[in-house]
Amino acid sequence: MSRTAWKILILVVVSLVIGAVSGILVLYIQMARDRADLEPWHRLKPESEFTADRSEGVNDLEDYLSLEERLFEGIAETLKGEVDAWPMLSRLDPTSPTNPDTLPRNWNRTYRMEPDRVVAGALLLHGLSDSPYSLHAVAEHLQSRGVLCVGLRLPGHGGVPGGLTASRMEDWRAAVRMGAQAVRNRLGPSQPLILVGYSNGAALALDYTLDALNDEDIPTPKRLVFFSPAFAVSRIAAFARWQRLVSALPGLGKLAWTDILPEYDPFKFNSFPLRAGEEIYRLTTDLERKLQRLEREGRLNRLPPVLSFQSVVDATVPPEASLSRLYSRLEANGSRLVLFDVDREARSEAFLTPAASRVLSAADKGGPWPFDIVVVTNRSPESNRVELRTVNAGSAVGEYRIDDLGMEWPRGVYSLSHVALPFPPDDPIYGVGPMWRDPFPLGRIDPRGEKGTLVVPLSLLMRLRYNPFFDIIPPMIDQFLDLEDDKNEGN
């Protein structure tokens, strides 16, 4: 090829690259214009938030609570002049019925629950963009069984969505270490430490446990209980950083968010920044490295027993990839995996995608497993009644025990969801039970009308927010933690 031809080819390639980059920038600009405007609560990065850098000044839970109090006072002071910006039912409006401070308790803050007689201690870790409220029903049950509970508010959460743009994985880790040590300090030598994690909280609990196995100065938990664990996330999260970098360009600040939505939920952010997605991707990637190291060193048998509750369909976390990251490595130690199936009644199953069967198919094809698998599923394709099918550790495929639950699928519900598992049906916010006050029955919304009319995605309003089969969870936790025996001992 002649020199002239090479120059022409290079010129064409450079022109195509410039054209492609220009096209992408135009697309991003259009995306930014089409999005809702950022509000003060999106841009605010609270100064009094806990960080790993300032963790040395926070020596115990009392210090953490004092810092947390200053955090919420600072947010209120900063936003009090933004009255004209409040959308209807905003959780940040002091006069709104969805403002958490107007409710019986503001569950966005760290809480402690102490039983009359302590037999164990638990640190409960909520999910990303969530709050300590997500595990309050579990904590209340544990407290009734003699477990001292601390529901930790993780950095960046509970106040304003903008807090998540400033918090890092290292901040979450430092807070978890402080919380675990605070619980351990309240226990006797023979009283076990338990970690309970939901979604990203489960990833942080496992991350902490792996660090504890390598550091004698960190209290090691005896049992782990997980809900919708996020041990792996979609690979697209790896590209979040690049879009966030583009968002630094003038006029493109909205692109730093995957969702910019009204904040009507009192205990969960509806808006979600790309930075939060980056941080959970960093965390889960680091989890894999730590698990690989433990496997190489032949120390997987040091992992404590794990009890996990998971819906077989999950739009937030890929369940097959997430579960296999941990459960494919577990050795026989009394662990258990509880799967909530979709409604397999024939008329419902006809509308399900193939993804609805992947997790159960993987469980069947990979057995026998060194842990119990429990499936909540239909009695038959002709029935909407559900039963419990238990495959004990080491059992062959198809060998299971059946227990009738006396439950059935609620009308109009075809599956659980990532956000539903830890909430009972009578939850006053996300369930269908008695409400604390009107008007935000988030669990009762049944929208019907024209598409494109609502200010929030219809899929968000229609997503199931409670677990109709929650009643099976407390007894399973009791059995796994041997709490019934501990509770009765010495009475």
Going by pLDDT thresholds of 50, 70 and 90, the confidence category of residue 490 is very low
Whether residue 81 sits in one domain with residue 50: yes
Number of domains in the chain: 2
Please check whether residue 457 lies inside any domain of the structure: no
Answer yes or no: is 371 within a domain.
yes
Domain limits for position 108 = 24-304
Are residues 268 and 407 part of one domain?
no
Q: Does residue 309 surpass a pLDDT of 80?
A: yes
Q: For residue 453, is it within any domain?
A: no
Better pLDDT: 339 or 102: 339
Residue 36 and residue 105 in one domain: yes
* pLDDT at site 239: 63
> How far apart, in whole angstroms, are the C-alpha atoms of residue 41 and residue 164?
11
pLDDT at 96 (0 to 100): 85
Name beta bridge partners: 339.
310, 375
**Interhelix angle for 169-185 vs 200-212, to 10°?**
70
Q: Considering the domain boundaries, does residue 324 fall inside one?
A: yes
Give the span between the Cα atoms of 89 and 100, in whole angstroms. 11
Give the residue from 328, 338, 336, 304 showing the smallest Cα distance to 422: 338
Predicted TM-score (pTM) of the model is 0.90
317 plus 285 within the same structural domain: no
Let me know whether 85 and 193 are in one domain: yes
Instruction: Mark which of 249, 270, 304 sits at the end of a domain.
Output: 304
Residues with Cβ within 8 Å of residue 200, at least 6 apart in sequence: 125, 126, 127, 128, 130, 172, 230, 280, 283
**CA separation for the pair 263, 347 (Å, rounded):** 36
Of 304, 323, 355, which residue is a domain's last? 304
What's the rounded mean pLDDT across residues 403-416?
92
162 and 294, same domain (yes or no): yes
Residue 249 has pLDDT above 90, yes or no: no
> Cβ of 162: how many Cβ atoms within 10 Å?
22
- pLDDT tens figures, 121-158: 999 999 999 999 999 999 999 999 999 999 999 999 99
DSSP 293-306: HHHHTT-GGGSPPE
The verdict on 63 and 79 lying in the same domain is: yes
Give yes or no: residues 370 and 298 share one domain.
no
Write out pLDDT tens, residues 411-453: 889 999 999 999 999 998 998 866 555 545 676 677 767 777 7
Of 282, 304, 326, which closes a domain? 304
Verify that 349 and 267 share a domain, yes or no: no
Residue 70's SS3 state is helix
Is residue 444 domain-resident? Answer: no
> Quick check: is 10 in a domain?
no
Q: Are both 290 and 352 inside the same structural domain?
A: no
3-state secondary structure of 477: helix
pLDDT (average), residues 346-370: 81
Q: Which residue has the tokens 């969805």?
A: 98
Q: Are 71 and 150 within one domain?
A: yes
- Within-domain flag for 1: no
CATH number at residue 270: 3.40.50.1820
454 located within any domain: no
Whether 260 and 321 map to the same domain: the answer is no
